Amino acid sequence: MNKGNTVTDVVLSSIDALEEDLQELLLGHSIPSEDEKENILSQWNEIAPILYDIITHSIKNNEAPLEEKFFFPIERAFFWLALAKDKELFPFIISSFAASSHLIDRNFLIQLAVYFLEEFLPDFISTVKNSEKNLELRTACLDVLVGFCARELFGKKELLEILREELTKELTFSDESVDWNTDLVSAAVNIGPKPLQEEIINLYGYGVIRNQLINIEDVKALVRKDQDDIFSKLQEIWGDIDLLQIWKTSFIEDSEESEEEVEDKDLNIQRILDLAKKNRVFPALITRNDSCPCKSGRKYKHCCLELFNGIVDLKKINQKTDWLTDVDHKEFAQELEKLIQELAEKPEEVLKTVEQMLKKEPKEPRLHAIRFFALSELGNMKEATENLIKSFKKFPSQALFRNSYATFFVLRGEYDNAEQIYSSEERFDLCFSNTNKLYREDAFYFHSNWVSIHLGHGRLERAALHLGAAKKLAPSEEAYLSLAQEATLLNIRITENAYIS
Q: Is residue 421 a part of any domain in this protein?
A: yes
Find out whether 418 and 449 touch, Cβ atoms under 8 Å.
Answer: yes
Beta bridge partners of 438: 317
User: What pLDDT is recorded for position 414?
Assistant: 82
CA triplet 194, 198, 202: central angle to 5 degrees? 170
> What kind and span of H or E run contains 396?
none
User: How many Cβ atoms sit within 10 Å of the Cβ of residue 191?
Assistant: 16
Q: Is residue 240 in some structural domain? A: no
Cα gap 82→67, rounded to integer Å:
19
Decide: 276 and 239 in contact? Cβ < 8 Å. no
- The answer to whether residue 420 scores a pLDDT higher than 80 is yes
Instruction: Identify the residue with better confidence: 254 or 189.
Output: 189
CATH number of the domain encompassing residue 481: 1.25.40
- Lowest-confidence segment of 254-258, 327-331, 471-475 by average pLDDT: 254-258
Residue 397 lies in a domain: yes
Cα dist from 219 to 91, 196, 206, 458, whole Å:
41, 19, 10, 32
Does the reported pTM lie above 0.85?
no
- Residue 126 included in any domain: no
Whether the CB-CB separation of 291 and 297 falls below 8 Å is answered with yes
**Lowest mean pLDDT, pick from 227-236, 416-425, 450-459:** 227-236
162-219: pLDDT as tens digits: 877 776 665 454 445 556 666 676 676 666 665 655 665 555 555 555 445 555 555 5
4-10: average pLDDT: 59
> Does 266 reside within a domain?
no
Q: Is residue 192 part of a domain?
A: no
Domain count, the chain: 1
Identify the domain containing residue 467 by its residue range.
Answer: 300-498
Residue 45 lies in a domain: no
Determine what percent of the chain is predicted with pLDDT higher than 90.
1
In a domain, 346, yes or no: yes
Q: Which of 180, 171, 275, 170 is nearest to 218 (CA)?
A: 275
- Residue 68: pLDDT over 50: no
Q: What is the pLDDT of residues 110-120, one digit of tens each?
A: 555 554 555 66
pLDDT value at position 102?
Answer: 41
